[in-house]
Structure 1
Amino acid sequence: MVELVTTFNKELVQRLVALEADAFGIGGMNEWHLVPLIRHGHVYIIRKNEDIVGAVQYFLDWDRPKKAYMMGVSIAKEHRGMGIGTKFIQDTFEALAQEGIEEVELTVDPENLTAIKIYENKLGFVVTDFRKNEYGEGEDRLVMKTALAKKGVC
């Protein structure tokens, strides 16, 4: 079951930062990113027992308000490879669709073949663009999009 974070405390933010650091190293989000996203975007978490084992963050596209941008997704190392992340993302898509979101976009490192395969084969994303040096020299990204249905994923 996904949980939309609407209130937070220091411990929750620290756990989310730790998940991000584990997944993305220095490229992960910190308190300065997560607090505004919790307040002004959507941050979903998933728990196993009481421990937060995953998070995904979204914000809206100003030019296309029915499109959400997936900022990031992180799953605790010990829970990866079990399908938890895929199901978690699908559940967040259902929640977004209930709010009238019709499309989700993300960017991914073109060398992250595992993520690309999951995005394409399990979540319905298609590659729509390639952005050279998106985050600096040598930091290329693929742009991927998927359409959402009103009552779930297409």
Structure 2
Amino acid sequence: MKFRELLEIDLEYLKRIVALEEEAFEGQGGVDLWILKALIRYGKVFVLETEEGELVSILEFMQVFQKKEVFLYGICTRKKYRQQGWAEYMLELGERYLVENGYQEVALTVDPKNEIAIHLYRNRKYKVLEIQKNEYGEGVDRLLMKKSLE
């Protein structure tokens, strides 16, 4: 597997990422081309690929202004590669990059019903700070989680 930062904007490759996001999130909350381009230019996007170039996982961060903190915008893994540790591997490498570049905290939000993601984040030492009620509309709650990188 190859882990790399996405630096260039190749429209066909970005369409592959959007398709993977749609598969992973089943049309609920994945990135679109507009957001993805902004994340590449003004945040950090990492991909994990097979040696043949198949996309396995994607990891996206946004910087929090005036803090040494980032927001984990998204992480997803192609369905056929799930339950094999790839998301945790991506998160580990992404966090290592952040530490090497002076960041001190990572924040994220997650659906309180997404037990698999919550388990992943807890394994990586993220702590629940609050429940954000109706964050994306009536009855659409999120858990705010954070991790210190120090």
Q: Same fold (TM over 0.5)?
A: yes
Question: Which residue matches 1:107?
Answer: 109
TM-score when normalising by structure 1: 0.91
What is the CA–CA distance in structure 1 between the aligned matches of 2:28 and 2:15, rounded to whole Å?
A: 15
The answer as to 2:97 corresponding to 1:61 is: no
Runs of 4+ in 1 over 6 A off after TM superposition: none
Residue 113 of structure 1 and its aligned partner are, at CA, apart by 1.2
Post-superposition offset of 1:48? 1.1
Q: Kindly report the root-mean-square deviation, in angstroms, between the aligned alpha carbons of the 2 structures.
A: 1.1
Between the aligned partners of 1:51 and 1:110, the Cα distance in structure 2 is: 30
Secondary structure, aligned partner of 1:111: coil
What are the Cα deviations for residues 39-63 of structure 1, in whole angstroms up to 9, with x where unaligned? 1110010111211211111011114
Q: How far 1:147 moved relative to its partner? A: 1.2
What 5-or-longer segments of structure 2 have no aligned partner? none
In the other structure, the counterpart of 1:30 is 32
SS of 2:149's equivalent in the other structure is strand
**For residues 1-154 of structure 1, what are the structure 2 equivalents within 5 Å?**
1-24=2-25, 25-49=27-51, 50-64=53-67, 66-120=68-122, 122-149=123-150
What is the distance in 1 between the residues matched to 2:39 and 2:116?
Answer: 26
Distance 1:72 1:138 in 2: 21
- Kept after mapping to 2: 8 A contact 1:2/1:92: no
Paired residue type of 1:14: K
Tell me the alpha carbon deviations over residues 58-101 of structure 1, each in whole angstroms, 9 at most, x when there is no partner. Answer: 0111142x100000001111100001110111011001111111
CA distance in 2, matches of 1:19, 1:93: 22
In structure 1, list runs of 5 or more residues that go unmatched: 150-154
Matched residue SS, 2:65: coil
Distance 2:116 2:146 in 1: 17
> Following the alignment from structure 1 to structure 2, what is the Cα–Cα distance between the partners of residues 127 and 79?
27
One-letter amino acid matched to 2:124? L
Aligned AA (2:21): E
| Alpha-carbon distance between aligned partners in 2 of 1:94 and 1:2, rounded to the nearest angstrom | 12
Q: Distance in 1 between matches of 2:125 and 2:91?
A: 12
Percentage identity across paired residues of the two chains: 35
How far apart are 1:8 and its partner, in Å? Answer: 2.2
Task: Please report how far the alpha carbon of residue 2 of structure 1 lies from its aligned counterpart in structure 2 after TM superposition.
Answer: 2.1
